[in-house]
Structure 1
Amino acid sequence: MGPLDAIKTCLAKSFQFKGRASRAEFWWFIALAWMAVTAATFADQILFPIGLGQKPGVPAYIIAPILPKPLTFLAAAIAIPASITVSVRRLHDAGMSGALVLISVLMMLGYGATYRWTFSATSVVSDDPFASVETLTSNFDVTADRLQTTSPFLRFASWLIMALQMAILLLCIRPSKLSLNKYGPNPNEVPQ
């Protein structure tokens, strides 16, 4: 399977967890999706230097953008469902359950929620340009307290998520089961 076939197949099966995906389909799609999201991120940096939810003149570390930049958001919104499903189908092809991908996604969502909660005090900086320094500093004190509490958890969680992602990546390298398995026929033997 070539790169264009992989893109077409993965986008067409963006919400289909059943079946199997060949190694070529998986690797071509993951590589091209990664390149598309990276290109969108660079384009966003040029076209939209100020993120959505960020005010001009206010450093990004003070007010965290609520949404990522638009092109990156669009590219990721298209690539993420297809990446998840092709990963599940790739594990099916190697004869394994796709539950590992679900566990990984849930861990990343939990990490993101914890990270957002930790730094949410800095994103509620007053819209009032004449807000007192005490108001702004109290927000940073809340964040410092939260960071001190959640920092070990965030470090541990990030290492755990990276280890799980590496394990899934290594499992996706495994060759296809040569015959029919409980997830369907070998995709290398079935015309697409």
Structure 2
Amino acid sequence: MRPSQAIKICIRKSFIFSGRSSRSEFWWFFPVGIAFAITATWGLLPIIISLNWYTKYVFAFFLLIPVWAAGSRRLQDTGEDGKDIFFSAVIFFGIPMISMLGVTALSAANIFIAIIVFGFLYLPIIGITIFLAFMFLGPTIGQLLVPSERSSNKFGPNPNEGC
């Protein structure tokens, strides 16, 4: 599959989480989708520049839906549950959100409260979040790399059969 075909298909199926996507379809679209979400969220759209950090994350969440849809279909192509792709949300949103909350706590007026929040709440939460993210995201990325199931599976026909 050519890159232009893959991008067109994934854009057309932006909000479709059912069915299957071939490996080439997903991997041609993935860098384009991520680059677009990051670029649009963090600087190129003048409207977004003046918004708060949490509003930017909400905007990025909506821009990443097509990437998650393609990833969900790709996992289903390998026979796995497509919902596992949402573990990536921990990396993209959980860790930065917790980090910003930690910075907000450290900039509090009372330094004693900030130290308690940072030491007893923030550090263990960020550690657990990173551990869980890598524990779940590693196998998911590995599953995105394996070839398609050769025949039809419970998610639909093999997308490579028409090629």
With normalisation by structure 1, the TM-score equals 0.67
Q: Which protein is richer in helix relative to its size? A: 2
Q: Which among 80, 88, 100 is matched to residue 72 of structure 2?
A: 88
2:55 maps to 67
The share of aligned pairs that are identical, in percent, is 29
> How far did 1:119 drift?
4.2
> How far did 1:14 drift?
1.7
With normalisation by structure 2, the TM-score equals 0.77
Q: Does 1:97 align with 2:81?
A: yes
Q: Taking structure 1 as reference, are residues 100 and 10 closer, same or farther at Cα in structure 2, changes over 3 Å only?
A: same
> How far did 1:122 drift?
5.8
Query: Gaps (5+ residues) in structure 1?
Result: 54-64, 124-135
Question: Higher Cα Rg: structure 1 or 2?
Answer: 1
Q: After TM superposition, which residue ranges in structure 1, 4 or more long, deviate above 2 angstroms?
A: 34-42, 50-53, 65-68, 76-79, 101-123, 140-144
Write out per-residue CA displacement over residues 111-152 of structure 1, whole angstroms, 9 at most, x where no aligned residue: 5665555444467xxxxxxxxxxxx531x4433221112212
2:31 maps to 31
Superposition RMSD on alpha carbons, in Å? 3.2
Are 1:108 and 1:161, in contact at CA under 8 Å, matched by a contact in 2?
no
- Equivalences, count: 160
Are 1:119 and 1:143, in contact at CA under 8 Å, matched by a contact in 2?
no
> How far did 1:189 drift?
1.4
> How far did 1:99 drift?
2.9
1:30-179 → structure 2 map (5 Å cutoff): 30-40=30-40, 44=43, 52-53=51-52, 65-68=53-56, 76-77=60-61, 79-105=63-89, 114-115=98-99, 117-121=101-105, 137-138=109-110, 140-150=111-121, 151-179=123-151
Q: Taking structure 1 as reference, are residues 141 and 12 closer, same or farther at Cα in structure 2, changes over 3 Å only?
A: farther
